[in-house]
Amino acid sequence: MKTLYLDAFSGVSGDMFIGALLDLGVDIAQLRTELQKLPVHGYTLTADRVAKSAIYGTSFDVVLDHGEKDHGFIEHHHTHGPGEQPHAHHGRHLHDIVDLITASELSATVKRHAIAIFNDIGAAESRVHNVPLAEVHFHEVGALDSIVDIVGSCICLDLLHVDRVKCSTIADGSGFIEVAHGKMPVPVPAVAQMLSDRAIPVQQHPEVHTELLTPTGLGIVKEFVTEFGPLDAQSAVHKVGYGFGKRETGQFNALRAMLLTTGQSQKQTAAGHDQVTLLETNLDDQTAEGLSFAQEQLLAAGALDVYFTPIQMKKNRPGVKLSVLVTPADRDRFVTLMLKDTTAKGVRYTAFERTVMQRRFETVTYRGLPIRLKVATYQDIRRVTPEFEDCKLAAQKLDVSLETVMAAATALAR
């Protein structure tokens, strides 16, 4: 399995993320070509390979034409004093940006991730400033920078072709920073709000008196990272890249990105044979809520599958068997997780050989909406399945039956 590991010892921002991925080898020409699919102009991308503290990395920047300054702030409609004129808001609303991305020729994957990140940041802004989501307003210049950073990050990750993204505990600074609308505490309010709906490990550094984790950086992490923690002992590090931050932090300010190979899937042959480990435990004293939580945790940690089987246990107790399928190299990590997140006192495991169909995604467009198709092949067997969630969304948006969308998507695949 190919993993991108983010070592966020100095936080994460959009620039740092793109810089780190370019440093890992993503082609900036391809990034530029993809970004040209968006009808936004007035900027140039720069990526310079420079040394900081004698360590070489990439300093990425979005340089706006005419030397305009990015205020880096999402404006909100706030109240004005008596006699005070509202300022002119030359900016873009969240839905303008979503429409812009949706209407572009970017890939369906890039669109989906970029829109999710914008929605997450927008929802936090809406909550922080107490304005309806529809009124969250991106400042004209800040919007351009955010669009390039967010869409650019999604493009870079797509070009890197990894199976999963893992991240260390994320560092942030402390104290206050000056932004367009005054002084803000660190973590900045949008970041604090974005941390409220998911368990993300962030550690503040009292000696760093500035911001290390930006709303854009956190949005990227929340969208792509499925596991937090240190480097896996079993991983092989193939490549390391550094993306430099712009702030003076008094320490080495970079995001370190590492390309790792984890587990056995790299041993999968063209014929589709590999090995998996099945971990199991029988439980008769765990609540349904606890079981559901454990399943979520195990899937988020990268399990290939997690499922329950009803069983009859001793003393006539109805119980469940928890089964967790993982790559062999992940076995011990998942034993620990199962002992931590369930009431199990022990976990048994068996190694299996298996044959799997090769799987890839294709996207078709049905009445203007993207539908992903899972294409599974093995020898001369080929099976195409439309993604249920995409069909559901299209059925709801177009007010047609789910069956109609699924049949149309399957026909388009042919």
Q: Which is nearer to Ni ion, 135 or 280 (CB)?
A: 135
Q: List the alpha helices (DSSP H) in 24-139.
A: 28-35, 94-102, 108-129
* Contacting residues for 69 by C-beta, under 8 A, at least 6 apart: 141
Distant-in-sequence, close-in-space partners of 44: CB < 8 Å, separation ≥ 6: 62, 63, 65
User: What does 325 bind: ligand L2XS5X25, Ni ion, none (CB cut-off 5 to 8 Å by kind)?
Assistant: none
Q: If 0-12 CB within 10 Å is exposed, 13-18 middle and 19+ buried, where does residue 109 land?
A: middle
CA angle 242, 247, 248 (to 5 degrees): 100
Residue from 190, 194, 338, 395 touching ligand L2XS5X25 (CB under 6 A): that is 190
Binding-site member from 154, 171, 188, 259 for ligand L2XS5X25 (CB under 6 A)? 188
Smaller CB distance to ligand L2XS5X25: residue 46 or 365?
Answer: 46
The distance of closest approach from Cβ of residue 125 to ligand L2XS5X25 in the complex, given in angstroms and rounded to an integer, is: 5
- Stretch of 69-77, 92-100, 197-205, 393-401 lying at the interface with ligand L2XS5X25 (CB under 6 A): 69-77
Q: Which does 13 bind (CB under 5 to 8 A by kind): ligand L2XS5X25, Ni ion, none?
A: ligand L2XS5X25
Determine if residue 326 is left, alpha or beta; phi over 0 gives left, psi from -120 to 50 gives alpha, anything else beta.
beta
Which spans of this chain sit near Ni ion (rule: CB under 5 A)?
A: 87
317: tokens are 């107790």
Looking at the Cβ atoms of 189 and 290, the one nearer to ligand L2XS5X25 is 189
Structure tokens, 14: 């959009």
DSSP calls for 167-223: E-PEEE--SEEEETTEEEESS-HHHHHHGGGS---EEE-TT--S--S-HHHHHHHHH
Single out the residue of 3, 104, 126, 146 in contact with ligand L2XS5X25 (rule: CB under 6 A): 146
Burial class (CB in 10 A: 0-12, 13-18, 19+), 180: middle
Question: With CB under 6 A, what is the number of residues at the site for ligand L2XS5X25?
Answer: 18
Alpha carbons 384 and 298: distance in angstroms, whole number:
28
Q: Which is nearer to Ni ion, 87 or 317 (CB)?
A: 87
Residue from the set 50, 103, 179, 311 that interacts with ligand L2XS5X25 by CB under 6 A: 179
Which one of the spans 72-80, 250-258, 262-270, 313-321 is the region binding ligand L2XS5X25 (CB under 6 A)? 72-80
Q: Which of 5, 9, 43, 73 binds ligand L2XS5X25 (CB under 6 A)?
A: 73
Interaction of residue 165 with ligand L2XS5X25, rule CB under 6 A: no
d(CA 240, CA 390): 35
Fill in the per-residue mask, 349 to 378: x = in contact with ligand L2XS5X25 (CB under 6 A), - = not in contact. Answer: ------------------------------
The structure tokens listed for 400 are: 């047609």
In whole angstroms, give the CA distance from residue 352 to residue 275: 6
Q: Nearest residue to ligand L2XS5X25, using CB?
A: 72
d(CA 141, CA 147): 10
- Residues numbered 110-139 forming contacts with ligand L2XS5X25, rule: CB under 6 A: 121, 125, 128
DSSP 134-174: GG-EEEHHHHHHHHHHHHHHHHHHHHHT-SEEEE-PEEE--
CA 302 vs CA 157, 297, 298: distances in Å: 18, 9, 7
Residue 74 interface partner, choices ligand L2XS5X25, Ni ion, none, CB cut-off 5-8 Å depending on type: ligand L2XS5X25
Residue 17 in the binding site for ligand L2XS5X25 (CB under 6 A): no
- From Ni ion, ligand L2XS5X25, none, interface partner of 87 (C-beta below 5 to 8 A by class): Ni ion
Q: Does 14 bind ligand L2XS5X25 (CB under 6 A)?
A: yes
The residue number whose beta carbon is nearest to Ni ion equals 87
User: Which residues, numbered 199-228, are part of the site for ligand L2XS5X25 (CB under 6 A)?
Assistant: 211, 214-216
Helix (H) or strand (E) holding 80: none
Nearest to 72 by CA among 125, 135, 23: 125
Residue 274 contact among Ni ion, ligand L2XS5X25, none, beta carbon within 5 to 8 Å by kind = none
Binding residues for ligand L2XS5X25, rule: CB under 6 A, are 13-14, 72-74, 121, 125, 128, 146, 179, 184, 188-190, 211, 214-216
